Amino acid sequence: MYSDGVGFPRLTPTPNFAALLQEPFALRPFSSLDVIHSVLIANRGEIALRIVRAVRDLGLRAITVYSEADKLAPHVLLADEAYEIGPPPASESYLCVDRLIEVARVAQADAVHPGYGFLAERADFAQAVESAGIIFIGPMPETIAAMGDKTEARKRMAAAGVPIVPGAIEAVSSASEALRASEELGFPVLLKAVSGGGGKGMRVVERPEELERSFTAATREAEGAFGDGRIYVESYVDRPRHVEVQILGDNYGNLVHLGERECSIQRRHQKLIEEAPSPLLTAQERSVIGEVALTAARAVDYRGAGTVEFLYQGDNYYFLEMNTRLQVEHPVTELITGIDLVEWQLRVASGEPLGFSQGDITLTGHAIECRITAEDPLAGFLPSTGTISHLEVPAGLGVRWDGGVLEGLEVSRHYDPLLGKLITHGSDRLSAVVRMARALDELEVVGVKTSAFFHRRVMEETDFLAGNLSVAYLDEHPDVLLPRASEDDLVIAAAAAALMEDYHRRRHRSPRFNRGNAGNQMSAWRASK
């Protein structure tokens, strides 16, 4: 049992709303899952809540864990059982493999869902779960290990005929070896960590004299973030688009792709806005890149939900990486396909075959997701902490909010600043954009600064409306990170001008942001209203 010897409770379930409702009503739909009856969700925040809902929708028992900081979080209150596992730092709670396995045993969980982040792409965690006789909801540990090592992933993809960015196959052992590899490739080059992701351990090197310093910095950062300081070298692809393909496989060799997502609007390699389908791919290009993604998946005998990511430049595309987990941006794919990815993760893990083939999948309409974070875009996206004193989320047809916070909760410095994901769906891209603008207008967050006003600015930016996107979008459009003094300062894309101007005219609102409000604790977007 868990106890640190200084007062932390042992592993006993915490009373919560779901448990209180379960006894009087016992309302559970029939589930076709015979193998899995209870699921431990080894995560927190909005993804934990998303999984709780999917688990309970299938009539299964949802078990969650929480740190001291999260004891009143929605994923705790709405689970069937919840267990405290440690103090706020993730290294002492959500990243403790042994403690999570212990909770799974005590709670008699049949399966563990890792969500994303934390331990989701740790092969040792997947193996520990399976060694404990518990089902891991995800790919095989060997698949996670192979795709988690970027040099191994590049080898596997090259062998399968999947295009990769030109560069070294093996890690380099020193700055001098990195210099030799870079000179062979030609500058600029990208130094890249063998393990991990999220932009950690990456440096663009434009000249030879920069390499040693960049190599030292990338190595140190990779070691600190992933415990693995190995670096490899590849050619730097300038201004590519980031396009990824959702894949889904079962235990019987059935494998499908669910279309692509455009994820090019990023900062420091972190995605900010995603949409599906890509506004620029033709039907033929969509078919080709989908088949290439399936080739990549077959090369590692993929099962469950995963994503194959590509860099797209002109007519060329290159394998970037394979994420062996559910993606943050999975809702946009769900909205255009009608397929619940978390449900099918659970079904596949229980041994069910896919209930559809590639020919059954159709893409309907367009979906956009904005990641609403507790960050200040005016200060370089610095995290904003505090207590949420007021929260009002948008609703209506075609609007979805996947959030993990409530009024009264503290936004902690210990975790990712993601508050929730705002997703809209429309019959076409423009209708999804206009709906997103409306939804952002309705979103109210008081107590921390948020990224909402940045997202609202993007929805009216000319190149975004035209679909002219690349990973350099923020560098090329710094104005979207600044408040505007007047609606008259905007230059709206010609194709959408009449519609967007009518939208604002009907609202009869004052300018959306006032510089004088920048220092208060209300969301930067809503503070101006």
Domains along the chain with CATH numbers: 17-137 (3.40.50.20), 166-235 (3.30.1490.20), 365-529 (3.30.470.20)
Active site (annotated) includes residue 506 = no
Q: Are strands 241-249 and 390-392 parallel, antiparallel or unpaired?
A: unpaired
Using DSSP's 3-state secondary structure scheme, residue 190 falls into strand
Average pLDDT, consecutive stretches of 10 residues, N- to C-terminus, the chain (529 residues) = 39 58 46 88 98 97 98 97 97 97 98 96 97 98 96 96 93 95 96 84 95 96 89 94 98 97 93 96 95 98 98 93 96 98 97 96 98 95 96 98 96 95 98 98 98 97 96 95 59 47 46 31 38
The H-or-E segment that residue 102 falls in is: helix 97-106
Cα torsion angle, 514, 518, 520, 525, sign: positive
Beta bridge partners of 32: none
pLDDT of residue 485: 52
Determine if the peptide bond prior to 383 is cis (ω within 30°). no
- 38 touches 107 (CB < 8 A): yes
> Which one of the listed residues 56, 325, 400, 526 is annotated catalytic?
325
Q: Summarize pLDDT for 173-205 with one digit per residue, the tens.
A: 999 999 999 999 999 999 999 987 767 899 999
* Backbone phi, psi, residue 386, to 5°: 155, -170
Q: In DSSP terms, which residues pair with 139 in a beta bridge?
A: none
424-435 residue pLDDT tens: 999 999 999 999
Q: What is the pLDDT of residue 315?
A: 87
pLDDT at 472: 95
436, 525 Cβ separation under 8 angstroms: no
Q: What is the pTM of this model?
A: 0.86
Tokens encoding 330: 């999975």
pLDDT on residue 411: 96
Residue 347 CA from chain centroid, whole number: 22
